[in-house]
Amino acid sequence: MTANDANNKSSDAEATSIVSQGSNHWSAFMLSIYKERRPPALSTVEVKRIEELAREKLKDHMDAYLYVFGSAGTCSTERFNREAFDTWRIVPHMLRDATSRDIGTTIFGAKLNSPLLIAPIGVQGIVHPEAELATARAAASLGVPMIMSTASTRSIEAVAAASGPGSPRWYQLYWPKTPEVTLSVLARAKKEGFTALVVTLDTPTIGWRPHDLDRTYLPFLHGTGAAVGLSDPVFMRRMGQEVWPVGKHVEFPYDPAALEVRAAQGDVEVQTRKTLGTAWLAETNSGVYRTWEDLAFLKKNWEGPIVLKGIQSVNDAETAVDWVDGIVVSNHGGRQVDGATASLDALDAICLSEKVRAAQAAGTFTVLFDSGIRTGSDIIKALALGAQGVLLGRPFMYGLCLAGEQGVAEQVRSILSDLEITLGLSGYSDIKGVQGKRSALVKVPTAKL
């Protein structure tokens, strides 16, 4: 057995214990590093350094790295997302019994090990050959819900199989313009055990992203990120094609230039993929801007919670209370609108709404947060401002790039260990003690620019 094999076995055993143990089990990850003198699998737990390591690993495929890293326009919204966390400071409280800590919570009636969910990031196959399957396995091993993206490089059925029976999983919808295709996708997701539907509203079309435009990089045009469509019987029948067989998926690494050469040389497979990928993109990022009334179609055809992702205004959040079961306060990690409000600032305003707070208190409305989460302290700040759960995005993608399933698991384990430790050091023994408690924070005025 190699040292790596031993580390992997240790990590697997630790993951199993995390799911089954009671209080303080997440912080055991930190103690195990010290006690066993076992460096992290990613060589560091420092978030920025992991991002840099991912960049280095993808140096020969910089377009793939920049697709994950990049944002809209000048990247100002992503910068605002992070800066907003600096304007809020945690106020630690002493002489409180936080000896035993439990960061578990309940969302939509399901008991979860933590308030963290894996964000629905697409085209994971551009950074690792195991793609969404590695992420699904890592999330399942830790009891953390994975939100599968419509833009995945693996099918709904394959991701569900990797997740395994009983593991919490939600499905994110880029709403197809064709009703029959939408119905087919919803039916497949429900059949495969996805319990909540997360409807992304902020991407009727792809935002202005200079990182990708400069490199003419759009994986969907070669069928990369179109696995849900390529495995959908209704979509493929409309295209006059057979559904891709189980196990078939796009290659790794994704090399657009090489695929273009193959297409020019008459490679029918690649030419067909280009046609199908372009058509799937036209279905899911169609330029059709939905209205509130359109939600009636989804409510009629989905059994389970419906969550709207991309909400940033108080007015939209209050309207959502009358339509759906919850929202994700998100600006797509800054990838859609340059110069937009920071997502944490939007959360702050939304959770001051009496209508939203009343619906949360009544248990009829759930507010989740996305865009900027990097540390355990970030999670505490989002929870204190009123979020009931948070989504982790780019950091898990960097972990996936560096070490596949193990890398994703370590990123999740790290941030939850940080959360559990920092929660106790701040004077709280559980999530309930801090959720919605603005007294846990103090706001520091930002200097005028």
Is 249 in the active site?
A: no
Closest CA to 140 of 118, 123, 120, 164: 164
- Cα-Cα-Cα-Cα dihedral sign, residues 205, 210, 216, 218: negative
Tell the residue number behind the tokens 């947060």, with chain if given. Answer: 369
Around 337, how many Cα atoms within 13 Å sit in the side-chain half-sphere? 16
- Cα-Cα-Cα-Cα dihedral sign, residues 284, 285, 287, 290: positive
Phi, psi of 225, rounded to the nearest 5 degrees: 100, 10
CB neighbourhood size of 285 (10 A): 20
What gap in Å lies between CA 105 and CA 420, rounded to an integer? Answer: 13
Closest CA to 353 of 410, 315, 387: 315
Annotated active-site residue in 128, 211, 249, 332 = 332
Q: How far is CA 395 from the centre of its chain?
A: 10
Q: Which amino acid is at 256?
A: P
What gap in Å lies between CA 229 and CA 283, rounded to an integer? Answer: 9
Q: Which amino acid is at 18?
A: I
Q: Where are the alpha helices (DSSP H) in 322-393?
A: 343-350, 354-362, 376-385
Burial classification of residue 413, based on how many CB atoms lie within 10 Å of its CB (0-12 exposed, 13-18 middle, 19 or more buried): buried
Cβ atoms 185, 173 nearer than 8 A:
yes
Cβ atoms 298, 189 nearer than 8 A:
no
Asked if omega into 253 is within 30° of 0 (cis), the reply is: yes
Tokens of 180: 């029959």
What ranges make up the beta strands (E) of 44-93?
A: 88-90
Catalytic residues: 332
